[in-house]
Every structure is written in C-alpha cells, then in structure tokens.
C-alpha cells in the first residue's frame, strides 16, 4: 500500500503524466497568481486595501509549495535516476528544479530566523523567483532551457567577445573624452555605462562623446554593437531548429516498423483517422 500510494502521487505530480492533468494547471495558475500578487503589493493603495487578502493568499501558497516540496523529496526515488533512498534524495535536492522549489518557499521562513525588518522587506521580493517553477510545467521553457544548454559554448564566446569590446571601447573613449568632460567620463567604469548603452544601441543620451575622435569611436561602437548583438539571435535560432529537429527524429523513429524497418507513420495516421471516424 505504501509503494502504491507513493507511485500514485509520483504519477500525479510528474509533469506530462496522464494523472497530472489537474495538478499541473493548478500549480501553474498558483505560480502566476503569486507573481501577480507580489507585483500588486507594491501599489500602495492596493496593499492598504487588500493587505489581509494578499497575506492569506501568500500563506495558502506557501503551504501548497511546502507540501509539494516535501512530497517531491519523498517520491523522487520512484525516478530511476534517484532510486537510492538517501543518496538518491540528496542528489535530487541539489538538482536545479529542487533548488528553485526551495527558493520559492524560503522567503516565508527566513524572517523567522533573521527577524531584521530591513532583511524581511528585501527578502519579500525573492518571492518573484516562484515564476521559475513554471519551467517544470511549461514545454516552451523546457525547450528554451534545452537550447541554452545546447548552445552554451557559442553563447559564452559571444558574451566574452562583447565584454572585450566593451572594455576596449570604454577605455578608448575615456582617454579621448576625460580631458573635455572630466565630470562625465571621470573613470573607465563610468565610461563603461556609455559603452553598454552604445553597444546595445539604446543610447539614453545622458553620456555621449563631444570630441570628433570620440564621435568616431562612438560610431564604430554602435555599428559593432548591431552586428555583435545579432550573433546570439542567430545562435538561438539555430539551436531551436536543432532541438525541434531532434524531437521530430525521435517521433519518426517510433514510427519505424521493428520487423521490416520501414516508415509506417502514414499508415498509423490513417488508421487513427479511420478509428476516429468510426467512433464519431
């Protein structure tokens, strides 16, 4: 009975399982509402009028997320990757999703350990991290995470190249503009703010070069930024294409006859349509 109950709860809580058709939408809705409440609490008149309602909803959410965290730590041994009773659970508790689940409930419990009011006010914003729990239930977020993992080396190289260009451009414009605008380009870290807004082609206009050489450097940086920031978009697009193609290949392999090794997807689809027509 113990193992049947454990297996049943695992089926209900495992995303994508046929038994989780009610649990998944409930948790997803609760996460979205939590984020909405955290945002609405920053509006003074709403917080003054509905403070008790917001507090009650937070208590309910924490109770649900706490029970979910405890249950997941209990049933994780149903997964072959975490089969061992102690080491398996320990391995599960340090997985990214388990850490996110823990972060989702920590803002409620930490003030009992650290009663400093300034700390309590700061830690409340950490409730926004509950939105990361959606990664377990959203196929789109899972796909995005898979793409990032697939292209992490290329994205890392792009980030490093951007950092090098930022340091070089900021140092050059500092040398050129410091004598003319000592209060604006006082040092290289201040010039880096100009480098960031220029590389991203945002251009707030609060800091800008006024010397001819500084303007030339700024123009080169803007043009370089357009090309440099287009690279991650291309890398991510390529990654999405590869991930989707892998999934198509997996589906296609399931449609290969184990005896004659021929593709039978069209036949299976026709039989499914015929069965649906017969049912209707």
Query: How far is residue 238's CA from residue 259's CA, in Å, rounded to a whole number?
Result: 35
Would you state the pLDDT for residue 15? 67
Q: What is the architecture, at CATH level 2, of domain 152-270?
A: Orthogonal Bundle (1.10)
Q: If 0-12 CB within 10 Å is exposed, 13-18 middle and 19+ buried, where does residue 94 land? A: exposed
Q: 223: which 2 tokens?
A: 């043009």
Structure confidence by residue, pLDDT tens digits, 39-89? 888 888 998 899 999 999 999 999 999 999 999 999 998 888 888 888 889
Token pair 């003054």 is at which residue? Answer: 48
Query: How far is residue 2's CA from residue 11's CA, in Å, rounded to a whole number?
Result: 14
- Average per-residue pLDDT for the chain: 82
The residues spanned by each domain of the chain are 2-137, 152-270
Q: 68: which 2 tokens?
A: 């979910």
62: closest CA among 88, 31, 39? Answer: 31
Q: How crowded is the C-beta side of 91, counted as CA atoms within 13 Å?
A: 12
Q: Are 188 and 171 in contact (CB under 8 A)?
A: yes
Q: 20: which 2 tokens?
A: 């989780």
Structure confidence by residue, pLDDT tens digits, 137-195? 777 777 888 898 889 999 998 889 889 999 999 999 999 999 899 888 989 988 999 99
Fold of 2-137: 1.20.120
């Amino acid at each position: 009975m113990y193992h049947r109950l454990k297996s049943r709860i695992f089926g209900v809580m495992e995303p994508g399982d046929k038994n989780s058709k009610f649990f998944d939408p409930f948790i997803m809705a609760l996460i979205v509402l939590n984020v909405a409440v955290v945002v609405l609490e920053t509006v003074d008149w709403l917080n003054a009028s509905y403070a008790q309602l917001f507090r009650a909803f937070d208590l309910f959410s924490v109770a649900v997320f706490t029970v979910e965290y405890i249950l997941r730590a209990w049933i994780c041994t149903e997964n072959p990757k975490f089969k061992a009773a102690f080491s398996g659970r320990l391995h599960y508790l340090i997985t990214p999703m388990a850490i996110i689940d823990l972060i989702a409930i920590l803002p409620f419990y930490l003030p009992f350990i650290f009663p400093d009011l300034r700390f309590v006010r700061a830690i409340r914003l950490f409730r926004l991290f509950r939105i990361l729990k959606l990664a377990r239930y959203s196929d789109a977020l899972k796909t995005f995470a898979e793409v990032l993992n697939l292209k992490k080396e290329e994205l890392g190289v792009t980030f490093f190249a951007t950092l090098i260009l930022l340091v070089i451009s900021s140092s050059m414009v500092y040398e050129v503009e410091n004598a003319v605008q000592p209060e604006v380009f006082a040092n290289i870290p201040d010039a880096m703010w100009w480098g960031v807004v220029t590389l991203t082609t945002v251009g707030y206009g609060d800091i800008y070069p006024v010397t001819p050489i500084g303007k030339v450097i700024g123009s080169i940086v803007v043009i370089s930024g357009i090309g440099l920031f287009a690279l991650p978009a291309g890398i991510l697009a390529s990654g999405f294409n590869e991930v989707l193609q892998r999934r198509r290949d997996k589906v296609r392999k399931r449609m290969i006859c184990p005896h004659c090794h021929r593709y039978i997807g069209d036949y299976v689809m026709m039989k499914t349509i015929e069965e649906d027509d017969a049912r209707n």
